[in-house]
């Protein structure tokens, strides 16, 4: 099969890690008989330099034509003094809105090889893991384009008077909730078949609405175990018993906070991938999808062969799984990453946080990626 992929390397380490994700996709393509056609596009600081805009209209137009988008990272000190809508990060919001991606998927798992990077004690991890192992593997599905971040907001009075006030509004309609829940249930079907709705239904009307709709939809997903948790409890459970979670579905605000908490317990930022997905656009075959490592452009290490390319490579694997349904190809990339970590290779960001094992070898971006490609060829 042929797939077209918009490639937005961006700034800083973005181009370094993106090129390694491309190599991984090409290797998987050669191995399994797929052709990935890349359309390289500018967004972020580099686009500001060449066009004056963080997200040129031509970039968004071209990205919309493609089957999926892979992004490195945008931003850096050079553009930090620019105003709001001229900053590189505006490109991210523009791409998300322009592509219509409404569900953000952030896996957070602890690879046994990187266990020492996790701030939680072994006994905490073991207690909630079904197989009694010191690990966890969860996926947070966050609603991305609605709720309080987009609701009506404002201020009454001048803010100085005692009755001056400010407000933000959490409002969701049925369609917005149903579509993100469908993404969550579909993801759960490809994983351990458990979905937890996280809300604040003991207080908020909007949360009660989420819960009612989830209860209705659960009837159609009898193969999935559905349960419900208040957000304050979930924040505690993530650090007390993370192994209990498979797929967590939640609103924009709660997801923003919980996904950061989940990323901390999984160790290095250089390992974490993400996907943002939407409906199938008219005239397209695959759902809108934007894939990116969760880290930024890391200007402190850019151009020095120090960046960990694994988050970008794992983002490419997510693209294969969630956009194209290429499950065995995605699993092959993930297995290659695991194999390389098993062999003891570490980029500096991972090595500095783990106890140095006898077989541990610190390598740069290129050597790490080359090892993954080799392992993938032999998968
Ligand atoms: P950052 O994620 O770029 O870096 C934080 C720290 O983690 C740095 O010490 C960096 O060296 C390290 N790090 C990040 N990715 C790494 C990798 N793959 N391998 C090894 N080490 C890695 O966050 P920041 O420093 O807050 O932001 C830098 C710039 O990136 C800013 O301009 C910010 O706005 C932008 N940013 C962009 C995105 C995005 O494009 N999605 C996300 C976050 C930040």
Q: What is the pTM of this model?
A: 0.89
Mean pLDDT on 317-330: 95
Least-confidence region, from 123-137, 154-168, 243-257, 348-362: 348-362
Residue 14: per-residue pLDDT: 98
Measuring from atom 8 of ligand 1, which residue has the nearest CA? 298
Mean pLDDT on 316-331: 95
The CA 270 to ligand 1 mean position distance, Å, reads 9
SS (H, E, C) the chain: CEEEEEEEEECCCHHHHHHHHHHHHHHHHHHHCCEEEEEECCCCHHHHHHHCCCCCHHHHHHHHHCCEEEEEECCCHHHCCCCHHHCCCHHHHHHHHHHCEEEEEEEEECCHHHHHHCCCCHHHHHHHCCCCCCCCEEEEEEECCCHHHCCCEEEECCCCCCCCEEEECCCCCHHHHHHHHHHHHHHHHCCCCEEEEEECCCCCHHHHHHHHHHHHHHCCCCCCEEEEEEHHHHHHHHHHCHHHCCEEEECHHHHHHHHHHHHHHCCCHHHCEEEEEECCCCCCCCCCEEEEECCCCCCCCCCCCCCCCHHHHHHHHHHHHHHCCCHHHHHHHHHHHHHHHHCCEECHHHHCCCCCCCCCEECCHHHHHHHHHHHHHCC
Q: Among residues 232, 285, 300, 342, which one is catalytic?
A: 232
pLDDT tens, 269-284?
A: 889 999 999 999 999 9
* Confidence label for 29 from pLDDT (cuts 50, 70 and 90): very high
The CA 129 to ligand 1 mean position distance, Å, reads 31
* Confidence label for 144 from pLDDT (cuts 50, 70 and 90): very high
Least-confidence region, from 146-160, 233-247, 321-335: 146-160
The CA 92 to ligand 1 mean position distance, Å, reads 14
pLDDT tens, 63-86?
A: 999 999 999 999 999 999 998 789
pLDDT tens, 78-113?
A: 999 998 789 999 999 899 989 999 999 999 999 888
Residue 269: per-residue pLDDT: 82
Measuring from atom 16 of ligand 1, which residue has the nearest CA? 270
């Amino acid at each position: 099969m042929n797939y077209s992929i918009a490639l937005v390397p961006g700034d800083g380490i973005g181009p370094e890690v993106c090129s390694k994700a491309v190599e991984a996709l090409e290797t998987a393509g050669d191995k399994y008989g797929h052709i990935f056609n890349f359309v390289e596009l500018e967004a972020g600081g580099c686009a500001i330099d060449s066009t004056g805009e963080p997200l040129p209209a031509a970039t968004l137009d071209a990205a919309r034509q493609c089957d999926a988008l892979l992004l490195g990272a945008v931003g850096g000190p050079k553009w930090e003094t620019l105003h709001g809508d001229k900053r590189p990060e505006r490109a991210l919001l523009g791409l998300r809105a322009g592509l219509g991606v409404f569900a953000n998927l952030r896996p957070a798992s602890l690879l046994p090889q990187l266990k020492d990077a996790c701030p939680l004690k072994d006994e905490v991890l073991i207690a909630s893991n079904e197989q009694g192992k010191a690990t966890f593997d969860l996926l947070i599905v966050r609603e991305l384009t609605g709720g309080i971040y987009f609701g009506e907001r404002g201020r009454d009075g001048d803010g100085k008077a005692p009755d001056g006030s400010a407000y933000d509004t959490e409002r969701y309609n049925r369609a917005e909730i149903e579509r993100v829940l469908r993404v969550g249930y579909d993801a759960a079907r490809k994983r351990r078949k458990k979905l937890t709705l996280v809300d604040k239904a003991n207080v908020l009307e909007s949360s009660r609405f989420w819960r009612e709709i989830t209860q209705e939809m659960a009837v159609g997903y009898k193969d999935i175990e559905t349960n419900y948790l208040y957000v304050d409890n979930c924040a505690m459970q993530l650090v007390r018993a993370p192994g209990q979670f498979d797929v967590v579905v939640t609103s924009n605000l709660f997801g923003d906070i919980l996904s950061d908490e989940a990323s901390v317990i999984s160790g290095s930022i250089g390992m974490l991938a993400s996907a943002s997905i939407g409906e199938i656009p008219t005239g397209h075959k695959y759902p809108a999808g934007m894939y990116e490592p969760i880290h930024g452009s890391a200007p402190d290490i850019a151009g020095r062969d120090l960046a960990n390319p694994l988050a970008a490579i794992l983002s490419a694997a997510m693209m294969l799984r969630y956009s194209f349904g290429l499950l065995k190809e995605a699993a092959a990339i993930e297995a290659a990453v695991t194999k390389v970590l098993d062999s003891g290779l570490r980029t500096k960001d991972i090595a500095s946080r783990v106890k140095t094992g006898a077989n541990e070898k610190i390598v740069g971006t290129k050597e790490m990626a080359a090892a993954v490609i080799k392992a993938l060829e032999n998968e």
